Amino acid sequence: MTVGGGRWRLPLISGTALLAVYLLGAWAVWFTPPSGSVAFWWPAAGVSVTILAFAPRSWWPVLVGGIVTASFAANLTGGRSVEVAAAFSVANAAEAMVAGYLLKRPDGRLIELEQLRDFGRLVGAAAAGALVIALLGGAVVALNDMGPYWATARNLFTSHASAVLVIVPVAMTWRLRAGIAERWEYGVQIAALLAVTLAIFVPQHHLPVAAAGLPLLVWAALRLDPRTVALEILGSAVIAVLLTAAGRGPYGELGQDEATVQLSATLVLGYILTSALIALPLTLAITQRVRDLDVLSESEALFRRNFTESLTGMLLLSRRGNRLEVVDANETAHALLDHGDRSVVGRYLDRVLTQPTAVRGVTQTMLRGNLDGWRGQLGIIHRPESQVEVAISQLTAGDDEAVFAAQLLDVTPLHQSLARTQAAEQLTNALLDTARCVMIMTDMAGTVVRVNQATSVLTGYPEDELLGQPLWARIIPVSLVEETREMFAAPDGKELPGSRESDLRTASGDPLRVLWNTDLVRDENGSPQYAVMTGVDVTAERAGAGLMANLFQAGISTAILGIDAQGQIRILNSGAESLLGCTSEELHGRQFVDVLDPEELRERTDESAGSGWGALASTLDGGNESVVRDWTWRTVQGRLRTVEMTICGGGSQFGPLAGFLVVGRDVTEQRQGQLMLMAALEKERLAADRLRQLDAAKNEFVSTVSHELRTPVTSIVGYTEMLADGSLVPADPQQLPLLETIARNGARLISLCNDLLALAGIDNGGTVWDRSVVDLRELAHQTEESLRPMIRNRDLKVAFELPDEPIPVLGDAVQLERVMLNLLSNAVKFTPDSGHVSTRLWEADGEAWLTVADSGIGIPQEEQDELFQKFFRSSTAQAMAIQGTGLGLSIVAGIVAAHGGWIGVDSTLGEGSTFSVRLPLHVA
Ligand code: ADP
């Protein structure tokens, strides 16, 4: 509770109240009927309960002490013994604590009598408190032999309960002062009540008119405020008790014996209780009702204000058959739906809004009870561009009186702005897609979120291959991927360059040169959300720029001179300056022909054309352009330069010949280089010729010698064999070895001669080749036969793997057998004992294949290229002193080549060699 009014207010009230407890208690004990054991009314109880219910709980110890003391003192003053007084005072305090406790709200403050519920609480608290004093007080009286227990308890109960019920309400209604009545009515009512009460209780009589005051209290309850009612009940109770105690009124003269005293007390208390129990709840019910009505009318006013003033259009709709009719509309709805002077009220809803069938359908579904409410967007019939958001809901049910409400929100502006936004977006899209430059939008992680059409066209990647991918997944060249990724990795897009030129990778792999411009799209907080990159294809410009640079450079080595119609130099470029070794000022105005060698000019021009510029201009083809030709120019320093020069006439369709343009390129070094090159080539050609001649002479010589040598050696060998076999004379056994040596060496000489002659024949085309169908399988059989004597005394495995079918080729059987025999004899010769030699012949892909493989000494890798040259012998063969001339393989290669075939070798030193020959098959 608040201690409003200062620190002294509560102590003051409490002190006064405790004093009242003492005085009222003393008075009550004093007035206790001589025959009775307890007072017949105990108003001090009402005051004690009020004190404890009203004061904060922290005050209770002090106040309870005060109540005990005041009651004790009152009982003593009233003439009771100390023990009885003490016992009663404790019982009084206990009663006050129980009732006081029950009358407190949870926050410790006294309950106010606002509702009937609170009255119930009051009655409960009064009864509980009275019960406590009845039980304790009864015991005190009984124990002290002052009277019977139950009768005392009953008397205590009524006297205390009635006191609490009329005194505490005054405190509980202290702030409830709102009555309906005017001031004068207060006056009249109070005066009437006072008059009637006094009229009942002042005279001594036995008329049963005590209840006559009740209608007046009911009047108060109906019209006056609760506090006045509570005060009136208290006042009339006090008057009744005092006058009855003084032996007046209807109950005062009942008698002095105990029974009649008790009866008159009971009757007075009954009167008091009746007044309290009738008037208090009545006034509370009335007050509550008045308050509820106020709230109701307030909320109705609020609703009405809401309805009329709402910015949302509101309609009240009533059912008419299966349709809804507008019965009320607020201002917004009128503004929205009235058509000219015609109000919306009284019209069917489906006649006001578009899509009438939908509206009717919804109405019927709602009327059937299948739908509580409906929302949708509709138009207004008389305003074609309008759009309203409509919500219809049922307010009250009932078949015929069903009432509905419709809320309408004008969303036309929203709708229009949406349409405008969409149109703008379409325009933007169209702009983006028709733009001729690459436009890419990425999020801040570099993921592509939007590309325009031109991006796909220029890069060759369809849109869906780019969207959702990191920027560097496709179009960034591999070398720039890392750099690009880092740019996006930096916070807030700080590293993204505003503009930059770089390459772009297209789907076809061709690079594009693109000038990028990057902007960041930021949110309202300024943090970047997207990066928008536009790229212009500058490939052609850059290529063009390169060309221009070349052109300028060319300007340095190419001399360009503008000559006027008189042959004077008027303008020249830096190329001309450097070629002629002087500045343009020095040359300006000089005759161009002075630059040329006069002798050469004379030689090349017609005499009839005269001399000087005129002669030169006459060489122009059709007067406009000369042929490109080398001229000798003389520099200012007197040096002669060879210049590839052309002259063209510079006129236009609008005027005569205005001048000439001479374009010259210094080709002195180039021409000198060309001359030197030609001389060198000529020298080389002469040397080659000489070599060829020498080679031919050598071949001639070798053939002649071989030829001349073969005949005498053949006869030497022949005669030696005759001497050895004893066909002429018996051979001396001692001479036999010598004869065999002569014959063997002679045979080697013949073989050498044959080889040399064969080679010479192949080289100079002197060999006459036979061209017949030769079966290589047959040849291989023959070769195998010829080989046999060679391997007779050798420990070699010689294998022939030949096909079942013949292998026909077109050629010279003798020469081809030579090839096989040569390869086989080499294999046998270069394979040490316990090795093997295998020959394979087969046909594949239209060719005959022959391989001769051995497990012999092999040929060093670096020497294999020279293998088929004349007189070549491998270093290993020489080191091992294996005899040979080095002619066999070159003859073999010559024969194979003449047959349109191919020969090759695969050899590993120390492991063996495989010679392979391929010859075209003969197809019959
Ligand atoms: P020649 O056998 O008379 O020396 P060739 O022209 O037939 O002459 O052979 C040239 C050289 O090639 C031989 O001296 C030898 O060094 C090497 N050569 C040829 N065939 C073989 C082979 N099967 N194994 C090892 N070396 C070989």
Q: Measuring CA to CA, which residue among 870, 878, 871, 863 is closest to residue 913?
A: 863
pLDDT value for 34: 66
Q: How far is the CA of 64 from the centre of ligand 1 (A)?
A: 144
Query: What separation in Å is there between the alpha carbon of 886 and the centre of ligand 1?
Result: 7
- Could you give the C-alpha distances from 60 to 52, 450, 591, in angstroms and in order? 7, 80, 137
Residue 157's pLDDT is 92
What pLDDT, in 10s, does the model give residues 304-362? Answer: 787 787 788 888 888 888 888 998 888 889 988 888 888 999 999 988 888 888 888 88
With a cut of 70, say whether residue 621 has pLDDT above it.
no
Instruction: Indicate which atom in ligand 1 lies nearest the CA of residue 858.
Output: 25
Nearest CA to ligand 1 atom 21: 826
Looking at per-residue pLDDT, the higher value among 720 and 35 belongs to 720
> Tokens representing 267?
């009757």
| Ligand 1 pocket, residue 324 CB under 6 Å | no
The tens digit of pLDDT for each residue in 220-274 reads: 999 999 999 999 999 999 998 888 888 888 887 655 566 677 777 888 888 888 9
Closest atom, ligand 1, to C-alpha of 827: 23
pLDDT for 550 equals 58
Environment class of 21 (CB within 10 Å of its CB; exposed 0-12, middle 13-18, buried 19+): buried
Which of 61-75, 440-454, 558-572, 756-770 has the highest average model confidence (pLDDT)? 61-75
DSSP conformation letters of 800-823: EE--SS--EEEE-HHHHHHHHHHH
Confidence band for 508, pLDDT divided at 50, 70 and 90: confident
* 872 pLDDT above the threshold of 80: yes
Say which DSSP state 112 is in. Answer: P
Structure tokens at 38: 């307890």
**Other C-beta atoms within 10 Å of 5: how many?**
10
Task: Report helix, strand or coil for 85.
Answer: helix
Pull the structure tokens for residue 284. Answer: 């509370």
**Ligand 1 centre from 566 Cα, in Å?**
82
Pairing between β-strand 569-572 and β-strand 383-396 as defined by DSSP bridges? unpaired
Nearest-angstrom CA–CA distance, 544 and 537: 13
Let me know the angle formed at the C-alpha of 464 by 460 and 467, rounded to the nearest 5 degrees: 100
- Atom of ligand 1 at shortest distance to CA of 889? 6
**Atom 20 of ligand 1, residue of closest alpha carbon:** 826
Strand partners, 537: 514
**pLDDT score for 757:** 83
Euclidean distance between CA atoms 252 and 242, whole angstroms: 10
**What does the block give as tokens for 293?**
């009505």
Q: Mean of the pLDDT values across residues 909-917? A: 95
Q: How many helices (H) and strands (E) are present in the chain, helices listed first?
A: 29, 22
Report, as an integer, the average pLDDT of 34-47.
80
Nearest by Cα to 819 from 881, 902, 721, 763: 902
Is the CB of 857 within 6 Å of ligand 1? yes
Q: Is the CB of 759 under 6 A from ligand 1?
A: no
CB of 860 shorter than 6 A to ligand 1: no
Q: Which atom of ligand 1 is nearest to the CA of 868?
A: 6
Instruction: Using the mean position of ligand 1's atoms as its centre, give its distance from the Cα of residue 417 in Å.
Output: 99
Cβ of residue 756 lying under 6 Å from some atom of ligand 1: no
| Lowest-pLDDT range of 51-55, 106-110, 679-683 | 679-683
**186 and 224 Cβ atoms separated by less than 8 Å:** yes
Residue 153 structure tokens: 């308890």
Question: What mean pLDDT comes out for the span 416-426?
Answer: 84
884 C-beta closer than 6 A to ligand 1: yes
What's the mean pLDDT in 895-911?
Answer: 93
Q: Is 592 in the pocket of ligand 1 (CB under 6 A)?
A: no
Does residue 134 contact residue 151 with C-beta atoms inside 8 Å?
no
CA 363 – ligand 1 centroid, Å: 115
Query: CA-to-CA distance for 207 and 249, rounded, in angstroms?
Result: 9
Cβ neighbours around 108 below 10 Å, total: 12
Predicted confidence at residue 756, as pLDDT, reads 83
Q: What is the pLDDT of residues 181-225, one digit of tens each?
A: 889 999 999 999 999 999 998 888 777 787 888 999 999 999 999
Ligand 1 and 874: CB distance under 6 A: yes
Nearest protein CA to atom 9 of ligand 1, as residue? 886
Residue 830 Cβ < 6 Å to ligand 1: yes
The tokens describing 203, both together, are 């005279």
Q: What is the dihedral of CA 424, 430, 436, 440, to 10 degrees?
A: 70
For residues 593 and 568, what is the distance between their CA atoms, to the nearest angstrom?
Answer: 9
- CA-wise closest residue to 137 among 149, 125, 124, 123: 149
CA of 874 to the centre of ligand 1 (A): 7
- Residue 394's region, left for phi above 0, alpha for psi from -120 to 50, else beta, is beta
Query: Does 235 contact ligand 1 (Cβ within 6 A)?
Result: no
Count of beta carbons in the 10 Å neighbourhood of residue 777: 19
Q: Closest ligand 1 atom, CA of 886?
A: 8
Distance CA 295, CA 585 (A): 111
3-state DSSP of 307-328: HHHCCCEEEEEEEECCEEEEEE
* Alpha carbon distance 644, 634 (integer Å): 13
325 lines ligand 1 (CB under 6 A): no
pLDDT reading at 531 higher than 90: no
Contact indicator for 21, 48 with CB cutoff of 8 Å: yes
Would you say 887 and 895 are in contact if contact means Cβ atoms under 8 Å apart?
A: no
Best probe residue, ligand 1, of 749, 829, 830, 869 (max atoms within 8 Å of C-beta)? 830
Angle made by CA atoms 218, 221, 227, in degrees to the nearest 5:
135
Ligand 1 centroid, distance to 873 Cα (angstroms): 6
Q: Mean of the pLDDT values across residues 847-852?
A: 96
Find where tokens 């404790």 sit. 90
Q: Which of 561, 582, 585, 586 is nearest to 573 (CA)?
A: 561
Distance CA 542, CA 540 (A): 5
Distance 861 CA to ligand 1 centre (A): 14
What number does the ligand 1 atom closest to the CA of 877 have? 16
| Residue in the structure block whose two tokens are 């066999």 | 888
Which residue is listed with tokens 């408190």?
Answer: 129
Cα separation, 231 vs 283, in Å, equals: 12
pLDDT of residue 588: 87
Dump the DSSP string for 364-397. Answer: HHHHTTS-SEEEEEEEETTEEEEEEEEEEEEEE-
In this predicted structure, the answer to whether residue 4 has a pLDDT above a threshold of 50 is no
Q: Is the pLDDT of residue 397 over 80?
A: no
Assigned token pair, 158: 């009524």
Nearest to 87 by CA among 128, 33, 146: 146
Residue 867's pLDDT is what?
92
353 lines ligand 1 (CB under 6 A): no
- Output the residue whose Cα is nearest ligand 1's atom 19: 826
- Nearest-Å Rg of the Cα atoms of the chain is 71
- Count the alpha carbons within 13 Å of 483 in the hemisphere toward its beta carbon: 9
Residue nearest to atom 10 of ligand 1 (CA): 886
The residue to which tokens 């009314």 are assigned: 41
The predicted-structure confidence for 574-595, as pLDDT tens digits, reads as follows 888 888 888 888 888 889 989 9
Contact predicate 99/126, CB 8 Å: yes
Q: Classify 604 as helix, strand or coil.
A: helix
457: confidence class by pLDDT, cuts 50, 70, 90: confident
| pLDDT bucket at 3, cuts 50 / 70 / 90 | very low
Show the tokens assigned to 538: 């500058």
Task: Output the CA angle 104-107-109, nearest 5 degrees.
Answer: 45
216, 199 in Cβ contact below 8 A?
Answer: no
Which of the two residues, 305 and 855, has the higher pLDDT score?
A: 855
pLDDT band, very low/low/confident/very high, at 545 (cuts 50, 70, 90): low
Of 874, 885, 896, 914, the residue with max ligand 1 atoms within 8 A of its CB, to mutate for a pocket test, comes to 874
With a 6 Å cutoff on the Cβ, whether 129 touches ligand 1 is no
- Rounded to whole angstroms, the Cα distance separating 780 from 447 reads 75
Instruction: Give backbone dihedrals phi and psi of 421, rounded to 5 degrees, phi first.
Output: -60, -40
Task: Let me know: does 822 contact 891? Beta carbons within 8 Å.
Answer: yes
| Nearest residue (CA) to ligand 1, atom 12 | 873
Q: Is the CB of 453 under 6 A from ligand 1?
A: no
* Residue 724 predicted with pLDDT over 50: yes
By CB atoms closer than 10 A (0-12, 13-18, 19+), residue 642 is middle
Does the C-beta of 888 come closer than 6 Å to ligand 1?
yes
Looking at residues 124-132, what average pLDDT do you find? 95
Residue with tokens 């130099």: 569
User: Measured from the CB, is residue 867 less than 6 Å from ligand 1?
Assistant: yes
Cα of 694 vs centre of ligand 1, distance in Å, is: 27
User: If we measure between CA atoms, which residue out of 552, 547, 563 comes closest to residue 646?
Assistant: 563
Report how far ligand 1's centroid is from the alpha carbon of 916 (Å): 14
Q: What is the mean pLDDT of the chain?
A: 86
Rounded Cα distance between 614 and 567, Å, is: 8
872 lines ligand 1 (CB under 6 A): yes
% of the chain surpassing 70 pLDDT: 95
- Tell me what pLDDT residue 551 has: 55
CB 800 less than 6 A from any atom of ligand 1: no
Look at residue 682 and give its three-state secondary structure: helix
Ligand 1 atom with the smallest distance to the CA of 912 is 24
Task: Indicate which atom in ligand 1 lies nearest the CA of residue 891.
Answer: 6
Place of tokens 């470029």: 573
Coil/strand/helix, residue 465? helix
- Does the pLDDT of residue 1 top 50, yes or no? no
pLDDT per residue as tens digits for the range 73-93: 998 988 888 988 999 999 999
- Per the CB < 8 A criterion, the answer to whether 813 and 824 are in contact is no
Residue 546 has pLDDT above 70, yes or no: no
Inter-residue contact 475 to 463 (CB < 8 Å)? no
The closest of 512, 437, 451, 515 to 477, measured between CA atoms, is 512
The answer to whether the CB of 863 is under 6 A from ligand 1 is no
Q: Which residue is listed with tokens 């109070």?
A: 190
For residue 858, the CA-to-ligand 1 centroid distance in Å is 9
Q: Is 827 in the pocket of ligand 1 (CB under 6 A)?
A: yes
**pLDDT over 60 at 729, yes or no:** yes
Cβ of 179 below 6 Å from ligand 1: no
CB distance 912 to ligand 1 below 6 Å: no
The CB-based long-range contact list for 750-753 (8 Å cut-off, 24+ gap) reads 750/710, 750/713, 750/714, 750/717, 752/706, 752/885, 752/887, 753/706, 753/707, 753/709, 753/710, 753/713
Closest among 779, 781, 784 to 808, alpha carbons compared: 779
Cα–Cα dist 865/887, whole Å:
15
Q: Give Cα separations from 287 to 234, 370, 404, 727 (angstroms).
A: 20, 43, 35, 177
pLDDT tens across 776-814, in order? Answer: 999 999 999 989 988 988 999 999 999 999 999 999 999
